[in-house]
């Protein structure tokens, strides 16, 4: 961050807490539309339940389709929170603070939507309990189940912990403005947070544990998701690099998701003062870095297999580079990696708008990449038969629309319940900055005699605003 926002803490709280109590017509409209799409998706799924998976475009030869693509896609996006929240917290990158809450939201919601997808894909969803009753720990699907439940639990905890002081703020600040159930909710959920030193110590230990733990958990999640494919002998999937490739792709698409969601929420709630262009540019830099990593992985895969052309490699290359799926692949390669890379590379395009456009390209490109992996991977013939086609039906399109709508809807509901910016962390950071700039060098943290805290008194974490006066 090149300069500290000049807004006093009072304004921060007011801006961030406002959506929790005031709802505009636009919000109801958006939520209404999203709800309709979700309900349409539910209707499509009910058709599938009635008829069986024959209602989809999947058949014996290409037996995984949109649902598994969306599963991988959403689990991938869920790595947003882990990266921003955890990794950036661990390396103490200062600029991340206003962004962490949204990133953690995205993680929890994306995980929930993603975890639904394999269940929607099952031929016998009524037999889901069999996974627990008869589960085989040697199966990649069980690894998925275990790691995703562990990650969801961890993400919810990791969303909740930094939320506690903000919930306490809501409890204290939102008096009659919030509805009564919201008030009880804040009271209960803030678990009696008063900002005492001991409480802060416990919270920081808890957050410290979680932020270190959630990183390997997140890495393991997308690794085992990739192993659904890599544990088979199908040629395009039989690759030792899948684990790392998928994790890199997950973080890549996660960053893009944060950029997009953040841009929307920033506009909707007028958070321009706290989430500045610099934030987007920093995220853009990270995205650009990951572009290079993804290009490296792709080059490794294709150059190494292409040099040898073993087995059905030439069939696969023809279908993804030249013929049937070439549009998808080249959109992913050029649109999803090269163009975002170029946008980030040149200072002229490295703006808020540029980064947002790049993120949009990345998201679509990564969806295409999942499509190529799942569909083109299965299309390679195993025996002498003509290759098949996968043509998704309205059921699959509707469920996909419903999944994205659900993602948007749950985030929309979250922002009405929780502050979208981590108020106490931002305030804490401001305070530290103010103190550093105000004090003579060599001293920090302590107030000099007669000095006031400029942006309101007392402990920022308690969320209580004070009239300046009476210092030490």
Partner 1 sequence: MSMRKARWLWLTLLPTLLALATAAPAWAADPVTLQLQAPEQVTLGEEASVTAVLVDGQGAPVRGATIILWSAGSFLSTGGAIELGRAATDAQGRATFTYQARSEGALTLNASFPGDSRHASAQASSEVKVQGSFQLYQEEAGVQVPGITVWLLVGLLGGVWSTYLTVMVLLTLIAREGPKAPLGAGGDRG
Partner 2 sequence: MPGVGDSARRMSRRQLLKVLGAAGIAAVVAPLAPLLLRRGGARAAETVEAPGRLRKWAMVIDLRRCDGCQGIELPPQCTQACIQGHYAPEPMEWIQVYEGELAGGGTQFIPTPCQQCQNPPCVNVCPVAATFATPEGTVLIDQNRCIGCRICMAACPYDRRFFNWGNPPVPLESQLADYSTEHQVPAKRGTVMKCDFCPDMARAGKLPYCAQACPSNAIYYGDLEEDIATNGEQLVKLSQFLAENEAYRLKEDLATKPRVYYVRGHGQAVGRSPLRSGRKATRWPWLEKLAGARTWTR
- Rounded distance, CA 438 to CA 451, Å? 10
352: which 2 tokens?
Answer: 């808020």
251: which 2 tokens?
Answer: 């973080």
DSSP letter for 107, please: H
Helix (H, G, I), strand (E, B) or coil at 56: coil
CB-nearer residue toward partner 2: 94 or 153: 153
CB-nearer residue toward partner 1: 90 or 345: 90
Kindly tell me the burial class for residue 25, based on how many C-beta atoms sit within 10 Å of its own C-beta (0-12, 13-18, 19 or more). Answer: exposed
Applying the rule CB under 8 A, the residues between 161 and 220 that interact with partner 1 are: 161, 164, 172, 191-200, 202-203, 205-206, 209-210, 213, 217
173: which 2 tokens?
Answer: 């600040």
Binding of partner 1 by 30 (CB under 8 A): no
Count of residues that bind partner 1 according to CB under 8 A:
34
Residue identified by tokens 């007028």 is 270
Site string for partner 1, 79-118 (x = CB under 8 A): ----------------------------------------
Give the list of residues 6+ apart from residue 234 with CB closer than 8 angstroms, or none.
377, 378, 380, 382
Site string for partner 2, 209-238 (x = CB under 8 A): -------------------xx-xxxx----
Site string for partner 2, 183-202 (x = CB under 8 A): -----x--xx----------
CB-nearer residue toward partner 2: 54 or 292: 54
Q: Which of 250, 310, 300 is nearest to 106 (CA)?
A: 250
Identify the residue among 7, 63, 150, 318 touching partner 1 (CB under 8 A): 150
Angle at 81 between CA 152 and CA 92, to 5 degrees: 125
Give the list of residues 6+ apart from residue 304 with CB closer than 8 angstroms, or none.
none
Whether 456 and 468 have beta carbons less than 8 Å apart is answered as yes
Q: Could you tell me the smallest distance in angstroms from the CB atom of residue 466 to partner 1?
A: 9
The entry of partner 2, partner 1, none near residue 198 (CB within 5 to 8 angstroms by kind) is partner 1
- Rounded distance, CA 265 to CA 356, Å? 13
Interaction site with partner 2 (CB under 8 A): 51-54, 58-61, 63-64, 118, 121-125, 127-128, 130-142, 145-146, 149-150, 153, 188, 191-192, 228-229, 231-234, 378, 381-385, 388
Interaction site with partner 1 (CB under 8 A): 137, 146, 150, 153-154, 157, 161, 164, 172, 191-200, 202-203, 205-206, 209-210, 213, 217, 457-459, 461-462, 464, 472
């Amino acid at each position: 961050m090149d300069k500290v926002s000049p807004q006093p803490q009072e304004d921060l709280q007011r801006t961030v807490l406002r959506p929790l109590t005031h709802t505009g017509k636009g919000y109801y409209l958006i939520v209404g539309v999203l709800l309709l799409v979700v309900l349409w998706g539910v209707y499509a799924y009910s058709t599938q339940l009635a008829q069986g998976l024959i209602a989809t475009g999947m058949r014996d030869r290409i037996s995984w389709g949109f649902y598994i693509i969306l599963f991988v896609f959403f689990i991938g996006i869920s790595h947003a929170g882990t990266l921003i929240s955890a990794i950036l917290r661990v390396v103490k990158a200062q600029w991340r603070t206003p962004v962490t809450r949204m990133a953690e939201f995205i993680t929890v919601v994306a995980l929930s939507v993603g975890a639904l997808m394999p269940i929607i894909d099952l031929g016998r969803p009524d037999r889901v309990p069999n996974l627990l009753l008869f589960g085989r720990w040697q199966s990649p699907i069980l690894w998925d189940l275990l790691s995703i439940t562990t990650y969801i639990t961890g993400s919810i905890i990791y969303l909740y912990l930094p939320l506690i002081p903000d919930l306490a703020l809501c409890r204290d600040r939102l008096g009659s403005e919030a509805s009564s159930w919201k008030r009880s909710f804040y009271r209960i959920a803030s678990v009696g947070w008063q900002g005492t030193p001991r409480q802060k110590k416990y919270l920081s230990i808890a957050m410290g544990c979680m932020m270190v733990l959630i990183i390997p958990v997140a890495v393991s999640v997308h690794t085992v998701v990739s192993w659904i494919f890599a544990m088979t002998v199908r040629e395009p999937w039989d690759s030792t690099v899948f684990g790392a490739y998928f994790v890199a792709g997950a973080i890549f698409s996660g960053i893009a998701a944060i950029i997009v969601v953040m841009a929307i929420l920033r506009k909707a709630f007028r958070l321009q003062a706290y989430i500045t262009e610099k934030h987007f540019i920093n995220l853009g830099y990270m995205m650009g870095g990951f572009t290079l990593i993804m290009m490296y992985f792709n080059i490794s895969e294709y150059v190494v297999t292409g040099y040898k052309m073993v087995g059905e490699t030439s069939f696969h290359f023809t279908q993804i580079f030249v013929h049937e799926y070439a549009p998808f692949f080249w959109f992913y390669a050029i649109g999803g990696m090269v163009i975002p890379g170029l946008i980030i590379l040149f200072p002229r395009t490295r703006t808020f708008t540029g980064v947002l456009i790049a993120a949009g390209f990345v998201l679509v490109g990564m969806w295409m990449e999942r499509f190529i992996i799942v569909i083109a991977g299965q299309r390679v013939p195993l025996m002498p038969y003509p290759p098949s086609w996968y043509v998704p039906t309205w059921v699959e399109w509707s469920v996909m629309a419903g999944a994205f709508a659900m993602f948007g809807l749950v985030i929309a509901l979250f922002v009405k319940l929780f502050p979208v910016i981590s108020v106490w962390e931002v305030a804490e950071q401001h305070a530290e900055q103010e103190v550093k700039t105000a004090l003579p060098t060599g001293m920090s943290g302590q107030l000099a005699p007669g000095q006031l805290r400029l942006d309101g008194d007392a402990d920022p974490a308690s969320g209580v605003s004070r009239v300046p006066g009476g210092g030490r």
